[in-house]
Amino acid sequence: MLSCNKDDDASGFVPTLPAITQIGANTFGCSAGNVLITPRNGTGTFNSTDEGMILWGGGITPEITYHEIDVHDYKSVRTSSVLIHIQALHENGEGIYPILESNGQNSIDGPDHTHIFCRIWKNETEGYQYYLSIANTGNVNVSRYDVDAGIVSGTFSCEARNFQTPYDTIQITQGRFDINGFTLPEKVFQ
Protein backbone atom coordinates (compact mmCIF):
# COMPACT_ATOMS: atom_id res chain seq x y z
CA MET A 1 0.00 0.00 0.00
CA LEU A 2 1.35 3.37 -0.99
CA SER A 3 1.43 6.27 1.39
CA CYS A 4 -0.80 8.92 -0.08
CA ASN A 5 -3.72 10.57 1.62
CA LYS A 6 -5.87 13.62 1.21
CA ASP A 7 -3.70 15.76 3.46
CA ASP A 8 -0.82 15.32 1.02
CA ASP A 9 -2.28 18.19 -0.99
CA ALA A 10 -4.97 20.74 -0.27
CA SER A 11 -6.39 20.25 -3.78
CA GLY A 12 -6.98 16.52 -3.21
CA PHE A 13 -4.27 15.44 -5.66
CA VAL A 14 -3.46 11.73 -5.45
CA PRO A 15 -0.32 10.68 -7.36
CA THR A 16 -0.47 7.76 -9.78
CA LEU A 17 2.25 5.97 -11.70
CA PRO A 18 2.37 6.83 -15.40
CA ALA A 19 2.41 4.10 -18.02
CA ILE A 20 5.82 2.77 -19.11
CA THR A 21 6.35 4.37 -22.53
CA GLN A 22 9.20 5.24 -24.91
CA ILE A 23 7.74 8.16 -26.84
CA GLY A 24 9.14 11.16 -24.95
CA ALA A 25 5.93 11.72 -22.96
CA ASN A 26 7.76 13.60 -20.16
CA THR A 27 6.56 11.27 -17.44
CA PHE A 28 8.18 9.92 -14.28
CA GLY A 29 7.10 7.91 -11.29
CA CYS A 30 8.39 5.56 -8.60
CA SER A 31 7.58 4.22 -5.18
CA ALA A 32 10.21 5.03 -2.54
CA GLY A 33 9.53 3.37 0.79
CA ASN A 34 5.83 3.20 -0.13
CA VAL A 35 5.72 6.92 -0.99
CA LEU A 36 4.71 7.55 -4.58
CA ILE A 37 6.91 10.22 -6.19
CA THR A 38 5.82 12.08 -9.31
CA PRO A 39 6.99 15.50 -10.56
CA ARG A 40 4.94 18.56 -9.62
CA ASN A 41 5.97 22.14 -10.32
CA GLY A 42 6.09 24.61 -7.46
CA THR A 43 5.33 28.30 -7.30
CA GLY A 44 8.98 29.32 -6.99
CA THR A 45 10.20 32.75 -6.14
CA PHE A 46 10.77 35.95 -8.08
CA ASN A 47 8.03 35.17 -10.63
CA SER A 48 9.47 31.83 -11.73
CA THR A 49 8.40 28.25 -11.11
CA ASP A 50 10.24 25.43 -9.42
CA GLU A 51 10.44 22.78 -12.14
CA GLY A 52 9.04 19.37 -11.19
CA MET A 53 11.52 17.52 -13.42
CA ILE A 54 14.82 18.50 -14.99
CA LEU A 55 17.10 16.43 -17.24
CA TRP A 56 20.66 17.60 -17.44
CA GLY A 57 24.03 16.38 -18.54
CA GLY A 58 27.46 17.28 -17.33
CA GLY A 59 31.12 16.75 -17.81
CA ILE A 60 34.04 18.54 -19.36
CA THR A 61 32.98 20.20 -22.62
CA PRO A 62 32.47 18.84 -25.22
CA GLU A 63 32.09 15.44 -23.56
CA ILE A 64 28.93 14.61 -21.63
CA THR A 65 30.03 12.10 -18.99
CA TYR A 66 26.77 11.80 -17.05
CA HIS A 67 23.05 12.61 -17.13
CA GLU A 68 20.82 13.35 -14.16
CA ILE A 69 17.06 13.11 -13.83
CA ASP A 70 16.11 15.46 -10.99
CA VAL A 71 12.49 15.11 -9.84
CA HIS A 72 10.63 17.09 -7.16
CA ASP A 73 7.08 17.18 -5.89
CA TYR A 74 6.96 20.83 -4.85
CA LYS A 75 3.18 21.03 -4.33
CA SER A 76 2.28 18.38 -1.78
CA VAL A 77 2.25 19.29 1.90
CA ARG A 78 4.82 16.50 2.42
CA THR A 79 7.12 17.13 -0.54
CA SER A 80 9.50 14.53 -1.94
CA SER A 81 12.35 14.27 -4.42
CA VAL A 82 14.53 11.75 -6.22
CA LEU A 83 17.68 12.12 -8.29
CA ILE A 84 18.99 9.50 -10.72
CA HIS A 85 22.60 9.91 -11.86
CA ILE A 86 23.38 7.81 -14.96
CA GLN A 87 27.09 7.61 -15.71
CA ALA A 88 28.25 7.35 -19.35
CA LEU A 89 24.74 7.34 -20.85
CA HIS A 90 25.86 9.31 -23.90
CA GLU A 91 28.79 6.94 -24.44
CA ASN A 92 26.95 3.63 -23.85
CA GLY A 93 23.35 4.43 -24.85
CA GLU A 94 20.62 1.87 -24.28
CA GLY A 95 21.33 -0.89 -21.80
CA ILE A 96 21.47 -1.89 -18.15
CA TYR A 97 23.30 0.38 -15.70
CA PRO A 98 23.99 -1.24 -12.30
CA ILE A 99 23.10 1.10 -9.44
CA LEU A 100 25.99 1.60 -7.03
CA GLU A 101 26.47 3.41 -3.70
CA SER A 102 25.31 7.03 -3.50
CA ASN A 103 26.81 9.74 -1.31
CA GLY A 104 23.66 11.87 -1.57
CA GLN A 105 25.33 14.44 -3.83
CA ASN A 106 24.66 15.32 -7.44
CA SER A 107 26.70 16.58 -10.36
CA ILE A 108 30.47 16.62 -9.86
CA ASP A 109 30.07 16.23 -6.09
CA GLY A 110 28.48 12.81 -6.56
CA PRO A 111 30.32 9.59 -7.36
CA ASP A 112 31.42 8.78 -10.93
CA HIS A 113 28.96 5.91 -11.29
CA THR A 114 25.22 5.36 -11.60
CA HIS A 115 23.41 6.02 -8.31
CA ILE A 116 20.12 7.25 -6.85
CA PHE A 117 19.11 9.23 -3.80
CA CYS A 118 15.78 10.49 -2.55
CA ARG A 119 14.09 12.52 0.18
CA ILE A 120 10.75 11.42 1.60
CA TRP A 121 8.59 12.24 4.62
CA LYS A 122 8.41 9.46 7.23
CA ASN A 123 5.47 9.57 9.64
CA GLU A 124 7.40 7.33 12.07
CA THR A 125 10.09 9.99 12.55
CA GLU A 126 7.84 12.97 11.84
CA GLY A 127 10.46 14.36 9.49
CA TYR A 128 12.17 14.14 6.15
CA GLN A 129 14.63 11.32 5.64
CA TYR A 130 17.33 10.99 2.98
CA TYR A 131 17.93 7.60 1.39
CA LEU A 132 21.01 6.68 -0.64
CA SER A 133 21.25 3.77 -3.08
CA ILE A 134 23.06 0.63 -1.92
CA ALA A 135 25.55 -0.89 -4.36
CA ASN A 136 24.40 -3.76 -6.56
CA THR A 137 20.79 -3.83 -5.35
CA GLY A 138 19.23 -2.75 -8.63
CA ASN A 139 19.58 -1.29 -12.10
CA VAL A 140 18.57 1.54 -14.35
CA ASN A 141 17.41 -0.09 -17.58
CA VAL A 142 17.60 2.48 -20.39
CA SER A 143 15.28 1.11 -23.07
CA ARG A 144 15.51 4.11 -25.43
CA TYR A 145 18.22 6.71 -25.89
CA ASP A 146 17.70 8.77 -29.03
CA VAL A 147 19.95 11.83 -29.15
CA ASP A 148 18.39 13.25 -32.32
CA ALA A 149 14.86 13.07 -30.88
CA GLY A 150 16.03 14.10 -27.39
CA ILE A 151 14.41 11.04 -25.81
CA VAL A 152 15.60 8.93 -22.89
CA SER A 153 13.28 6.27 -21.46
CA GLY A 154 13.65 3.44 -19.00
CA THR A 155 12.86 1.77 -15.71
CA PHE A 156 14.70 1.47 -12.39
CA SER A 157 14.63 -0.09 -8.94
CA CYS A 158 17.04 -0.53 -6.04
CA GLU A 159 17.40 -0.63 -2.27
CA ALA A 160 18.43 2.51 -0.38
CA ARG A 161 19.65 3.19 3.15
CA ASN A 162 18.88 6.10 5.41
CA PHE A 163 21.72 8.62 5.41
CA GLN A 164 21.53 9.12 9.19
CA THR A 165 20.32 5.68 10.26
CA PRO A 166 21.98 3.09 7.97
CA TYR A 167 19.97 0.13 9.33
CA ASP A 168 16.78 1.84 8.05
CA THR A 169 16.40 0.72 4.43
CA ILE A 170 13.67 1.14 1.83
CA GLN A 171 12.91 -0.30 -1.58
CA ILE A 172 12.68 2.04 -4.56
CA THR A 173 10.38 0.19 -6.96
CA GLN A 174 8.20 0.59 -10.04
CA GLY A 175 10.48 3.36 -11.33
CA ARG A 176 9.86 4.59 -14.84
CA PHE A 177 10.80 7.64 -16.90
CA ASP A 178 10.10 8.78 -20.45
CA ILE A 179 11.66 12.16 -21.16
CA ASN A 180 12.00 14.38 -24.21
CA GLY A 181 14.75 16.85 -23.36
CA PHE A 182 13.57 19.24 -26.10
CA THR A 183 10.00 19.59 -24.81
CA LEU A 184 10.57 19.02 -21.07
CA PRO A 185 11.17 22.72 -20.25
CA GLU A 186 7.64 23.57 -21.44
CA LYS A 187 5.94 20.73 -19.54
CA VAL A 188 3.77 21.85 -16.63
CA PHE A 189 3.54 19.22 -13.89
CA GLN A 190 0.34 19.76 -11.91
92 backbone dihedrals φ, ψ, rounded to 5°: -100, -25
Number of domains, the chain: 1
pLDDT at 37 over 80: yes
Q: Kindly state whether residue 53 falls inside one of the protein's structural domains.
A: yes
Average pLDDT over residues 124-152: 97
**Closest alpha carbon to 33 in 127, 169, 163, 175:** 169
| Domain hosting residue 59, numbered range | 31-174
The answer to whether residue 116 sits within a structural domain is yes
In a domain, 16, yes or no: no
Q: What is the DSSP-derived secondary structure letter of residue 42?
A: B
Task: Tell me if 24 is assigned to some domain.
Answer: no
Write the pLDDT tens digit of every residue in 99-133.
Answer: 999 999 999 899 999 999 999 999 999 999 999 99
Angle subtended at Cα 34 by Cα 30 and Cα 40, rounded to the nearest 5 degrees: 45
Whether residue 183 lies inside any domain: the answer is: no
Domain for residue 189, yes or no? no
What rounded mean pLDDT belongs to the chain? 92
Residue 57 included in any domain: yes
